[in-house]
Amino acid sequence: MMKTLNSIILLLTVALCACELDNYEFPDAELSGRIIDAETGELVEQDIIRGTNIEITEHGYDPVSPQYLIVKNDGTYANSLLFSNMYTVQPVRGNFIPVEPQDINISGKTELDFEVVPYIRVKDASITKTGNSVIATFKLEQNVVNNVRKVGLYVHPDPEVGEPLRILAVENDINAVVDPNQEFTLELDLPANSSILSTGETYFFRVGALIDAGEAKLNYAPAVQLDI
């Protein structure tokens, strides 16, 4: 008798759990977008590690903890696991002048782009293998009065190379406001780094510059693939 009763209780418990699962709401909305240079219309390149985040706060809950989306290297972002609702959305800790948050109703596939002014535009960038060196040249266009803290050439086997994701770097401290006509040159000596960069292998190289501002991230030119 006791075994029969226990079996009935177990079956009822399983049935109740199944009903609860059936009634559980699953994410039914997506949010995607781009970080766009307001002047050039180009995507603002980012770091995949410690780069710009998209802060998303869902309305209707108190208290509520915001979610953070990573912005990809190319300046795009996406999250397909949201619930349909009103949200406050804002890019934070970026490499551009801060922008205001936006309230948006997210349902189905929702797109939200942010037009921003990057702290620095890395212009006329060229990265080439010349003899036993990799040479990068570029110019900088500042959009704020803060000093440029440093410039760098970063190397990694992954195309998402950047200051936080590199196996090798050549950096110069600047700590000054720069002339937009000044050409910067960074040179990487290949024989001196043969223990890190193997002959016959392919690597990605990327130049960037960092403004002297709180929580600022580097601004970049697109990565270049070179065979060593």
Residues 31-45 have a mean pLDDT of 97
- Tell which wins on pLDDT, 10 or 119: 119
Same domain, 62 and 139: no
> Are 126 and 34 part of one and the same domain?
no
Q: Which residue has the higher pLDDT, 41 or 5?
A: 41
Here the CATH number for the domain that contains residue 185 is 2.60.40.2060
Same domain, 205 and 124: yes
How many CA atoms does the CB half-sphere of 190 hold within 13 Å? 17
Look over the chain and give the mean of its residue pLDDT values, rounded to a whole number: 91
Q: How confident is the model at residue 64 (pLDDT cuts 50, 70, 90)?
A: confident
CATH number at residue 111: 2.60.40.1120
The predicted-structure confidence for 98-134, as pLDDT tens digits, reads as follows 999 999 999 999 999 999 999 999 999 999 999 999 9
Question: Which of 1-5, 69-73, 100-104, 177-181 has the weakest average pLDDT?
Answer: 1-5
Q: Does 185 lie in the same domain as 146?
A: yes
Does residue 3 fall inside a structural domain? no
Q: Could you tell me if 107 and 126 lie in one domain?
A: no
Task: Evaluate if residue 82 carries a pLDDT over 80.
Answer: yes
61 or 16, which is more confident: 61
Helix (H, G, I), strand (E, B), or coil: what is residue 139? strand
Please determine, for residue 6, whether its predicted confidence score (pLDDT) is greater than 80.
no
190 in the same domain as 170? yes
Residue 154 counted as domain residue? yes
Same structural domain for residues 52 and 124?
no
> Which residues, 6+ apart, have CB-to-CB distance to 96 below 8 Å?
35, 44, 52, 116, 117, 118, 119
pLDDT given for residue 23 in this prediction: 56
Give me the number of domains the chain comprises.
2
* 3-class secondary structure per residue, 65-128: CCEEEECCCCCEEEEEEECCEEEEEEEECCCECCCCCEEEEECEEEECCEEECECEEEEEEEEE
Q: In this structure, are 151 and 134 located in the same domain?
A: yes
Q: Is there a domain that residue 36 lies in?
A: yes
Last residue of a domain, one of 59, 85, 116: 116
Domain membership flag for residue 9 = no
75 and 132 inside one domain: no
Neighbours of 20 (CB within 10 A): 9
Task: Report pLDDT digits (tens) over 145-178.
Answer: 999 999 999 999 999 999 999 999 999 999 999 9
Does 2 map to a domain? no
The answer, yes or no, to whether residue 84 has pLDDT greater than 80, is yes
- 8 — pLDDT class (breaks 50, 70, 90): very low
Which residue type is seen at 158?
D
pLDDT interval class at 24 (50, 70, 90): low
H/E element, 6:
helix 2-23
Domain span at residue 94 reads 29-116
4 in any annotated domain: no
Same-domain check for residues 218 and 159: yes
In a domain? residue 110: yes
Residue 63 confidence (pLDDT)? 79
Q: Is residue 145 part of a domain?
A: yes
**Residues 112 and 126 reside in one and the same domain:** no
